Structure 1
Amino acid sequence: MRMVFRWFGDNNDHVSLDQIKQIPGAEGIVWALHDMPAGEEWPMDKINQVKEQAEAYGLNIDVVESVNVHEDIKLGLPTRDRYIENYKRTIEKLSKVGVKVICYNFMPVFDWLRTDLAKKLEDGSTALFYEGSKIHDIDPLDLVKTIAEDSTRTMPGWEPERLADLTELFEAYKNVTTEDLWSNLSYFLEEIIPVAEQHDIKMAIHPDDPPWPIFGLPRIMINKENIERFLKLVDNPYNGLTLCSGSLGSNRENDVADMVRSFSDRIHFAHIRNVRIYDNGDFIETSHRTQDGSVDIYDIVKAYHESEFTGYARPDHGRHIWGEECRPGYGLYDRALGIMYLWGIWDTLERQKKEK
C-alpha cells in the first residue's frame, strides 16, 4: 500500500507540502489543476509547476484527482467528442511527468452532496453530514428557485452564482435515463482507455456519493452489481476503480470489504474513511476508527492486505478538530490521524503474517 495525501495547491489549501512530508509514510500528493474548467486541456506549464513543487519536498505526483468529465460527455451531446479529445491530450501530458493513476467520476451535476458541512459530533468536532429529508422527494428546480428568492435557505455547494448553471443542468438531465448514462459512460471509456493504456496511466472511477439517485438524477456507480457491469464495459486492467469506503459504505447494504476482495486486481486507488449511519439512513462522517462509525475499516484494510495491494491509498474526509479552520472534510489533523490508524492496522497485519 502506497500512502498519499490530497493537496489542493498553494492558493486553495491551508495544508502545506512541508506538513504533508512530515506525516509518516506519506510519499506523494493527490492533486489536480483545480482552476481548470471541466473539459479543457491541461497546460503543460501548470502541470510541470506542480511537479516541481512536490519534488522540492521529496513527494511524488503519481495520482491525479480529478480530471473532471465535462457534462456534455455525461449527457451524450454531439459536442462530447471535442471534450474527449481534450481529455486524451491531458492524459498524454500527465504521462510525461510520471502520473500513474487518474481518478474521475461520472456523477451528473454534483461530485458529492451533503446537507451540512459542519455538523457537531458528541466530542465537539464537526463533520460533513447528509440529511435525507432535505433531499428526498424535492424538485431540484423548485429548490433552486427557493434559494434564489431566499438566500437564508441554501445547500452546500449551491452558491448564488451557480444557480443559473444548476437550473440549466437539471433541465438538460430531465430526460436522461439510467441506461442513457450507462451508454454515455461506455462511449467515453471506449475512447479513453486505449489512450490510457498507451501512456501507462490507470483510469480509476470514483463511486457515486451518496450511492443512490438524488433529485431524480441517475447514478450508476452505487453497488457491487453495478461495479461488475462497469468493469465489463471495457474489460481492460487500465479501466479500474477508486474504491471509496465512505461513499459506498453510506449504504448499509454495501459490503466494502467484500468489494475489495472481489475487485482487488482492478482497484488502482483506495479512499479509506468511515461514516456513521443513523436508523433513518442519514449519515455523518467520523474518525477513521472502526468503532466510531458503521463501516468496518479494520476488515477493509485486512482485505487490502490479503490481496497484497500495492496501489495507492489515502485517508479520505476527516473531521474538523482542535479548532482547525480548513476546507470542509480536508483538515490536516484528522486525516493525519487517519493515516496513522490505517498504518497501525497494516503494520499489525504485516507482523502477524511474518510470525506465522
Structure 2
Amino acid sequence: MIELGEFLPPRPEASWKLIRQVGVDNVVGGLNGAEQDQRMFPSVGAGGWRPDDREDVPWSERALKRNIEIYDEYGFRLVATEDTAPLDKARLGLEGRDAQIDQVIEQIRAMGRLGIPTLAYNWMALSSWGRTDIAIPARGGALVTGYRKADTDALPRLVDEGEVTHEQMWDALAYFLDAVVPEAEAAGVRLAMHPDDPPQPFDRNLPRIMSSVAAFRRLAALHPSAANGITFCQGNFALMPEVLDGTTAIPDLIREFGTEKIPFVHFRDVKGTPAEFQETFHDEGQTDMPACMEAYYEIGFGGVMRPDHVPTLDGETNSRPGYETLGRLFAIGYIRGLEHAWYGHPAKRSVRVA
C-alpha cells in the first residue's frame, strides 16, 4: 500500500489534528530550524515557516531523534526527510564542498540508525522552488501560486552570465553521488532527487540541470544504485520538454523508472509551460491523475506519496502559499480515493509485484 503522508516541519500546529483525522499518519519532515524563505518567491517576498529555537545541529542524530519524538507525540511516523544540510558549495563544485558533503553523510548515517528510509534533496543552487505570483485566482476564488519567466527579468541575477556551466554542475553532482551513494547504501537510506522547479535550463543566469527526463536518465546512469533515486514530482515532470511535446507521458515515466528509481512521490499537477504556469487543484490540471495512480499500482509502488503546492481556500490567510490546510485536506481525500480505486479496500488489497 502507499504510505500517504504530509510535509510537516517539526513544530506542532492546529492542522496536525485535522491531518490525523483524515487518515494520514506518515510525515515527510523538514529539519528543525528550517524556514521557508524569500528564495522561493523572489519577486513577491512571501515568507513561511517560523524558525525553530532549538540549538541542536539540525542534521545531527540528536536533532532528528527529537523530531521523531515530536511527531510520535501526535501519532505520526517520520518516513522521509525533505531537507538537508547546506549544499550550495557541493552543487557548484566550489572549495568547501567536502565539508558540506560530510555533513550530508552525517545526516544519512543518523537517518539510517533512526530508521528514516528516504532523503529528498535537489540540485537548485542559490535558490529554491520559485514563483512570481502567490495569489492567482483559481476555481471558486481559491488562490494558487504561479510563475512567469518574463516577471523575473528585472530581478537580480544569481551569477554573472557564463560564470557557471551546466557541465560544471553535472561534474559536481557526479562527485557528490560518488561520495554519498555508498554511504546511503550502507545506511539503508534512499536518496531522492527533486526536479528543478520550474524545470528550465537557467534561472537568472544560473544553470539548472535537473529539468528534463533526459537529465533524470543521466542521473540514474551516473551511479547505478537503488539508493540513487528520484523524488517523482509530477508537477515538474509535467512541464518537462519530453512530456509537453508528446514524446512521453507521466504514467509511462512512472513505469519506466519503476520502484527501482522512485522511492518518493509528490502527487500534484499544474497548467502551462515552464515559461508560464500555475498550480491547480488535483482534479483540474493537465495530467491524467487516475492513469498515474494506475501506473503506480502496476509497478507495485508502496513508497511515500504526498500532495504538494495546494490551493489556498476561502477563509485562509495565504501566509503559506501552497501549504495552507483546507487544500491539503482536499488533496488527501482525492489521493486516497484514487488509491482505493486501484489498490483496493485496505482490508483486501495486495500490491502488485513488478
| TM tier, smaller | 0.7 to 0.9
Q: CA deviation at 1:34?
A: 4.6
1:232-251 matches, within 5 Å, as: 232-251=221-240
* Equivalent residue, structure 2, for 1:86: 103
Q: Does 1:121 align with 2:129?
A: no
2:70 aligned partner: 53
Q: What TM-score does the superposition give when structure 1 sets the normalisation length?
A: 0.83
Amino acid at match of 2:7: R
Q: TM-score, normalised by structure 2?
A: 0.83
Count of aligned pairs: 318
- Cα distance change, pair 68–46 in 1 and its aligned pair in 2 (3 A): closer
Residue 271 of structure 1 corresponds to 266
Report the 3-state secondary structure (helix = DSSP H, G, I; strand = E; otherwise coil) of the residue aligned with 2:205. Answer: coil
Q: Following the alignment from structure 1 to structure 2, what is the Cα–Cα distance between the partners of residues 51 and 238?
A: 22
Letter in 1 for 2:290: Y
Whichever residue aligns with residue 207 of structure 2, its letter is P
Aligned-partner residue type, residue 348 of structure 1: A
1:30 to 17, 28, 31: 28
Partner residue in 1 for 2:48: none
Q: What letter is aligned with 2:331?
A: G
List aligned pairs for 1:57-76, cutoff 5 A: 57-76=74-93
**Structure 2 partner of 1:200:** 188
Question: CA separation in 2, counterparts of 1:116 and 1:206?
Answer: 22
**3-state DSSP of counterpart to 1:191:** helix
Unaligned runs of 5+ in 1: 145-166
User: CA 1:351/1:35 → structure 2, altered by over 3 Å: closer, same or farther?
Assistant: closer
Aligned to 2:170: 182
Cα pair distance change 1:343/1:110, threshold 3 Å: same
Paired letter, 1:46? A
Choose from 136, 143, 147 the match for 1:130.
147
Contact 2:238-2:270 within 8 A present in 1 as well: yes
Report the CA distance between 1:195 and its aligned residue. 0.5
In 1, distance between residues paired with 2:266 and 2:138? 22
Gaps of 5+ in 2: 36-56, 350-354
SS in 2 for 1:143: coil
How many Å separate the matches in 2 of 1:250 and 1:324?
28
- Confirm or deny that 1:342 pairs with 2:335: yes
Query: CA 1:90–1:281 in structure 2 vs 1: closer, same or farther (change >3 Å)?
Result: closer
RMSD: 2.4
Native 8 Å contact 1:274 1:286 kept in 2: yes
CA contact (8 A) 2:145 2:278 kept: yes
Residues 351 and 86 of structure 1, relative CA distance in 2, 3 Å threshold: closer
* Corresponding residue number in structure 2 for 1:101: 118
